[in-house]
Structure 1
Amino acid sequence: MIDTFNNLMSGVGFSDVIDILIVGFVIYKILGFIRETRAEQLVKGLLILVAITFISDIFNLYTLNWILENAFQLGVVALVVVFQPELRRALEYVGRSKFIPPQFAQLDKEKAKLVTAAIIKAVDFFSNNKVGALIIMERETALNDIIETGTIIDAEISTELLGNLFYEGAPLHDGATIVRGDRIIAAGCVLPLTQSKTLSKDLGTRHRAGIGITENSDAISLIVSEESGIISIAVDGKLSRFLDIKTVEKTLLNIYLSQISEEKVKVPFLNLLFRRRKDAE
């Protein structure tokens, strides 16, 4: 037994170890990416079909085995269609280059604080007066396709401008406003809705749209409920609700300042934010 193991190890070189580690890391990242998403359930169904195919071959179930094997020949095309949203998100994740400076990096700390103060003042007003609002903060993933669905604004962020855009009688009130750096790029934009089945039925289109855009990009959604005035933030397809204005301010500052910094910061405050969400629910 020991001799067999030694023979196997003697044939393993340094490049083989590197190869195994890379493959293991890729598999680990793929499993982590599809975890707790719609893709997880699809993968489970696919694995069940593969298991049935092997079982049918072992027990000589010729008809069932023939059907499944022929179905798998078309499976590659079917997987591309079924997993299209997940594949798009994965490719966008891989394609985010650190060599291209994010929009937030164009701001200095003082400007970031001024921008945050303007947004916070507007959000506080929206919450107290139950004015519905959906503000999308673009990060590394460009949202040009979303911007094209709305009206181009391209103006500096101000509390007054945000108030006018989301005023109940304004024509752009029901759409999303896209923020890039210190500028409002567009308003009245149409967002993709989340297909999650686990969301509360109390959440309307505004919240589903806010979550949906974060499932397809690294954008951050700031949402104010028109019915209750509750403030929420969506990140990576996860929604954090019942936030007070101080929490929102700290979160936005962490987002801006983490993008300004040259170090790779993961906005640790968001982890605390989502733990509070679970406690509130």
Structure 2
Amino acid sequence: MPELFSKMRSWFSLLPPFYQNNIMEIIILAVIVYEFLLWIKNTRAFELLKGLVVIGAFIIVAWFFKLTSIMWIIEKLSTAFIIAAVVIFQPEIRKALGQLGSRNFITSLFPNANVEDSSVNTINEIVKASFEMAKKKTGALIVIQQGQSLNDIAETGILINGIVSSALLINIFEKNTPLHDGAVVIVGDRVVSATCYLPLSETEISKDYGTRHRAALGISENYDAVTVVVSEETGRVSVAINGILKRAIDAESLRAMLPVAESNNDSDSATRFRFLRGSRKERVK
């Protein structure tokens, strides 16, 4: 045993000195790597990353077998690859930088920060309006703000600033009315604006879905908002969140997908959002 301990001391003596600052650096780097991998998983960068892994494996094989001509070409094109990666990942990089300074990121560090959440009554009104419009095949786009501000989206529409109600939503999306085209933005318990323009997703989706569904996916890829879509062609109700489009079969399934401020039995104080998360494999094709 003494010999074993002496050998272990000799092994540890070969390691560089370890200080308290190193522990902090390891924790910070672990958090950064974890958040980066989580970001990769929840964006289209995950699919693109698979291609980069294949290219990386090819480079390793070329280096291992000393394929000098191929390695020379790769070395000369390395700068172009970096620029191409920045161009390809431009939407994801822009989204990540936007989230870095968003209220959602700040509130994750300070849990007691006030967030304007939608009440249960507001969610019920949205659910009621959605299925009323679905019966009449009235197209609708309802965007519910979460952590990230939607001010830039709301500014593209017409100011409403009214309390959310099923009657108001149905009247807004009524066909041949001035406000029916575009999306409605809801913040907390208020309809902030209508006829808002949403960024369209470039993701391939089924031909059964139209421009509204592509717009719902687009806003969910750039913001953490939850969007309810009512199809004008089929009357189907769907929800877009985190770049995923899910079908809501009935009112209960829709209600389960929407963010709501939960309150205690004896208090009306709002707590954190609860919202549906899904795998990238669940994207509607």
Kindly tell me: are residues 81 and 256 of structure 1, through their superposed partners in 2, closer, same or farther at Cα, counting changes over 3 Å? same
> Which of 122, 129, 134 is equivalent to 1:127?
134
Deviation at 1:251, TM superposition (A): 4.3
Deviation at 1:46, TM superposition (A): 2.7
What is the aligned-residue identity percentage?
A: 37
1-side partners of 2:55 and 2:169: how far apart?
Answer: 52
Deviation at 1:27, TM superposition (A): 1.8
**Deviation per residue, 1:168-202 (Å, 9 max, x gap):** 212332311111222222212221222223x3332
Kindly tell me: are residues 69 and 228 of structure 1, through their superposed partners in 2, closer, same or farther at Cα, counting changes over 3 Å? same
Structure 2: any 5+ residue segments left out of the alignment? Answer: 1-6
- Residue 76 of structure 2 corresponds to residue 70 of structure 1: yes
Deviation at 1:58, TM superposition (A): 5.1
* Structure whose CA Rg is larger: 2
Partner of 1:183: 190
- Residue 15 of structure 2 corresponds to residue 39 of structure 1: no
Aligned residue runs from structure 1 range 4-153, under 5 A:
5-8=11-14, 11-35=17-41, 37-57=43-63, 59-96=65-102, 97-98=106-107, 101-104=114-117, 112-153=119-160
Deviation at 1:2, TM superposition (A): 4.2
Deviates further, 59-68 or 148-157: 59-68
How high is the TM-score relative to the length of structure 1? 0.79
Partner of 1:163: 170
SS for the counterpart of 1:202 is coil
User: Residue 154 of structure 1 contacts residue 185 of structure 1 at CA under 8 Å; is this kept in 2?
Assistant: yes
Kindly tell me: are residues 212 and 261 of structure 1, through their superposed partners in 2, closer, same or farther at Cα, counting changes over 3 Å? farther
SS for the counterpart of 1:64 is helix
User: Residue 218 of structure 2 contacts residue 243 of structure 2 at CA under 8 Å; is this kept in 1?
Assistant: yes
Amino acid in structure 1 at the alignment position of 2:36: I
Deviation at 1:63, TM superposition (A): 4.0
User: Residue 262 of structure 2 contacts residue 273 of structure 2 at CA under 8 Å; is this kept in 1?
Assistant: no
SS for the counterpart of 1:186 is strand
User: Residue 137 of structure 1 contacts residue 178 of structure 1 at CA under 8 Å; is this kept in 2?
Assistant: yes
2-side partners of 1:8 and 1:266: how far apart?
Answer: 50
Amino acid in structure 1 at the alignment position of 2:262: L
Partner of 2:251: 245
**Deviation per residue, 1:199-231 (Å, 9 max, x gap):** 333222111211210111111101112222222
2-side partners of 1:161 and 1:5: how far apart?
Answer: 73
Partner of 2:4: none
User: Residue 175 of structure 1 contacts residue 188 of structure 1 at CA under 8 Å; is this kept in 2?
Assistant: yes
Amino acid in structure 2 at the alignment position of 1:46: L
